Amino acid sequence: MTQSSNSTPTVGFVSLGCPKAGSDAELILTRLRSEGYEISGSYQGSDLVIVNTCGFIDAAVEESLSAIGEALAENGRVIVTGCLGAKKDSSGHGIVESVHPKVLAVTGPHATEEVMDAVHAHLPKPHDPFIDLLPPQGVRLTPDHFAYLKISEGCNHRCSFCIIPSLRGDLVSRPIGEVMREAEALVDSGVKEILVISQDTSAYGVDVKYRTGFWGGRPVKTKFYDLCNALGELGVWIRLHYVYPYPNVDEVLPLMADGKILPYLDVPFQHANPRILKAMKRPGDAENTLARIRRWRDAVPDLTIRSTFIAGFPGETEEDFEELLGWLSEAQLDRVGCFAYSPVEGAAANALPGLPPEEIREDRKIRLMEHQEDISTQRLERLLDREITVLVDDVDEEGAVARSMGDAPEIDGLVLIPDGEGLEVGEFAKVRVVDVDVHDLYAVPVES
């Protein structure tokens, strides 16, 4: 095995294949350089070698396998990435692993993070006095005690009012090991609440066919349930945002019932009328959705459901809108936001007929929010006289401002504690609820 003689870790790089493979190579090389690794075009003097492969035609497969063989013979420590890494033989085994079982790691194409994980595992990052001044959790814009955790980018849906897929492309899930390591680093730095975000949280892992990754030396699937289960082991509040109402959401309810993740779901239902939902290209069965909500509440009576709706979508009649109000009365959601429909440049919905005039759209938005006020208040009244745990966000001489398990930062209500000046920011505190209004709870500290 050949090691570099200088102290800077050096990675040899061999890239085969088409321009897409070349662009993957650029991403990996950029990351290697930005982390302080040296790059070498030769096997000699490199601490390990990355071979970026092609698997398009038989000749390319042969060329890639022989490049891997050469790198193993000349250097000995080889990480394989690229299209051939994803190819299986007729019995379902990876071609690269079958021919060259001594390689250190194999990934498919577009796998910068996994390649970097493999590099870090076999050749630790050099110390960088500038980068290493940054905390391990990176630079965050949120307070020290809560943080957002982005698990994927892009979206496979094509909701007609939304242009996110055309801006950000289809769903790309982050590797589970990377997500969990980031979550752990956040907890180690003092974070008490992790807010899981994405464009479509419940679809996590669909794009990578729920590929198995590793966290803490054990296999974990890149899958919504498995992610929630693993996050639930970290001992902090885990809050799920942007959950699309798929049936697989049912699976995480037991984790909420067991107290592993917060009994909180942010599910943008958008509407209740089947024709409007179809025009929006959203799942269209409002009856089923009501039944699902009932089942969720049976499983987790204290579940907080937050949702958003669009009023005045093209084609929405007064009857459709009243159907939505009736649905809200039945659904008894805890927290609701509403937007008056407004055309977004590039959205397919712009071509739909029957756009209500702007004043009607705005009026429906106001009516929806007024309709929901009583429902939200009644949902909060369940908490009157109960002792609950809150996370303290702010303390001054006038008391403390905190949030309950049912309150996400910025978008939901607050728990106002006038006698809470003795509490500390970032502390979990027990309080008793003494009053409620439409959005907020009022509480007093409970001596522990």
Binding site for ligand SF4 (CB under 6 A): 155, 157-159, 162, 164-165, 199-200, 244
**Which residue, 310 or 433, has its beta carbon nearer to ligand SF4?**
310
- For residue 336, the number of C-alpha atoms closer than 13 Å in the C-beta half-sphere is 32
**Which residue, 120 or 158, has its beta carbon nearer to ligand SF4?**
158
Distance CA 173, CA 176 (A): 8
Widest Cα–Cα separation across the chain: 77
Report in angstroms how near the CB of residue 164 gets to ligand SF4 at its nearest: 4
| Phi/psi of residue 49, nearest 5 degrees | -125, 135
Contacts of 350 (CB under 8 A, 6+ apart): 343, 344
Report in angstroms how near the CB of residue 416 gets to ligand SF4 at its nearest: 33
Contacts of 291 (CB under 8 A, 6+ apart): none
Distance CA 391, CA 400 (A): 10
Query: Would you give the distance in Å from CA 407 to the centre of its chain?
Result: 18
**Which residue, 28 or 162, has its beta carbon nearer to ligand SF4?**
162
What's the Cα-to-Cα distance from 327 to each of 150, 220, 267, rounded to whole Å?
31, 39, 15
Report in angstroms how near the CB of residue 276 gets to ligand SF4 at its nearest: 14
**Which residue, 282 or 335, has its beta carbon nearer to ligand SF4?**
282
Q: What angle do the packed helices 176-188 and 224-231 form, to 10 degrees?
A: 20
- With tokens 């076999």, the residue in question is 122
**Which residue, 72 or 338, has its beta carbon nearer to ligand SF4?**
338
Query: Following DSSP, what letter does each residue of 62-79 receive, concatenated?
Result: HHHHHHHHHHHHHTS-EE
Burial of 316 (0-12, 13-18, 19+ CB in 10 A): buried
**Which residue, 99 or 352, has its beta carbon nearer to ligand SF4?**
352
Report in angstroms how near the CB of residue 152 gets to ligand SF4 at its nearest: 11
Report in angstroms how near the CB of residue 114 gets to ligand SF4 at its nearest: 25
**Which residue, 122 or 278, has its beta carbon nearer to ligand SF4?**
278
CA angle 215, 216, 220 (to 5 degrees): 30
**Which residue, 155 or 417, has its beta carbon nearer to ligand SF4?**
155
Report in angstroms how near the CB of residue 170 gets to ligand SF4 at its nearest: 10
Nearest CA among 261, 265, 341, 322 for reference residue 296: 265
Report in angstroms how near the CB of residue 244 gets to ligand SF4 at its nearest: 6
The pair of three-digit structure tokens given for residue 308, joined into one six-digit string:
């958003």
**Which residue, 105 or 155, has its beta carbon nearer to ligand SF4?**
155
What's the Cα-to-Cα distance from 237 to each of 240, 389, 391, rounded to whole Å?
10, 11, 9
